[in-house]
């Protein structure tokens, strides 16, 4: 599969995401924030970083970039879209995912190996995981507190859209320990921790993140 990775001005983890896509067995296609088409890709990753300097609100300016118009339209047609960290913020600002991400409740940037439980595996990004799998991924954010109103949180839990939950500690004040969510259809996924930094033994906390990038292949052949 061809997986597009969007680079915005201020993206940091786009090259790591491209590498993770390749290690996962797919072809990585570099997309630029000013692109008006998606170059025929089958899926899109919005990487972490500080797109547009986090000006106004994290993801608020990126959401209106030309490439996002295409990503939003494709997501509505069912294309798999994964937003990691800043990408998750962009997906919330785009209203492709409910809720929002606000400054960590303890007001400090957090950077740690974080244990998570994968709770939703019926998505093209998590189908390689066993439901309830406990994984360790790098978490690094200043504005990673997931918030939504009570009704939205109840709906996310009721519909099984909570993708992953923090274990051991809640690192940023996210309501109900939510680390990631999916849309109703399951094709759009947002995650605050970074699976693309956990795909090789050489660096990082291990290879627990690889499943996000092998799931696409598994989803196609299943």
User: Catalytic amino acids?
Assistant: 85, 194, 196
Query: Rounded to the nearest whole angstrom, what is the least distance from the CB of residue 79 to another protein in the complex?
Result: 24
Stretch 95-134 residues interacting with another protein (CB under 8 A): 98-100, 102-107
- Hey, how many other C-beta atoms are within 10 angstroms of the C-beta on 173? 16
> Rule CB under 8 A: is residue 149 a binding residue for another protein?
yes
Please identify, among the stretches 9-17, 18-26, 140-148, 189-197, the one whose residues bind another protein according to the rule CB under 8 A: 140-148
Q: What does each C-alpha distance from 38 to 4, 28, 48, 189, 206 come to in angstroms?
A: 7, 12, 19, 18, 31
* Residue 92 binding another protein, by CB under 8 A: yes
Residues 16-75 that bind another protein (CB under 8 A): 56-57, 60, 64
With binding defined as CB under 8 A, does residue 151 bind another protein?
no
Q: Please identify, using beta-carbon distances, which residue of 99 and 171 lies nearer to another protein.
A: 99
Token pair 């960290």: residue = 85
Among 108, 83, 78, 79, CA closest to 93: 83
Q: Tell me which H or E stretch contains 29.
A: strand 27-32
């Amino acid at each position: 599969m061809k997986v597009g990775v969007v680079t915005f001005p201020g993206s940091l983890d786009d090259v790591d995401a491209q590498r993770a896509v390749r290690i996962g067995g797919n072809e990585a296609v570099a997309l630029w924030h000013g692109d008006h088409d998606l170059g025929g890709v089958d899926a899109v990753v919005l990487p972490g970083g500080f797109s547009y300097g986090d000006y106004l609100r994290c993801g608020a300016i990126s959401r209106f970039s030309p490439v996002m118009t295409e990503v939003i339209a494709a997501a509505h047609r069912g294309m798999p879209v994964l937003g990691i960290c800043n990408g998750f913020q962009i997906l919330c600002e785009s209203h492709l995912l409910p809720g929002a991400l606000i400054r960590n409740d303890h007001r400090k940037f957090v950077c740690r190996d974080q244990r998570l439980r994968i709770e939703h595996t019926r998505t093209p990004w998590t189908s390689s995981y066993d439901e309830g799998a406990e994984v360790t991924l790098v978490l690094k954010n200043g504005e990673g507190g997931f918030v939504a109103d009570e009704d939205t949180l109840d709906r996310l839990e009721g519909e099984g859209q909570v993708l992953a939950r923090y274990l051991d500690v809640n690192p940023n004040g996210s309501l109900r320990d939510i680390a990631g969510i999916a849309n109703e259809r399951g094709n759009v996924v947002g995650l605050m921790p970074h699976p693309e930094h956990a795909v090789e033994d050489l660096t990082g906390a291990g290879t627990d993140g690889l499943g996000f990038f092998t799931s696409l292949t598994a989803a196609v052949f299943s």
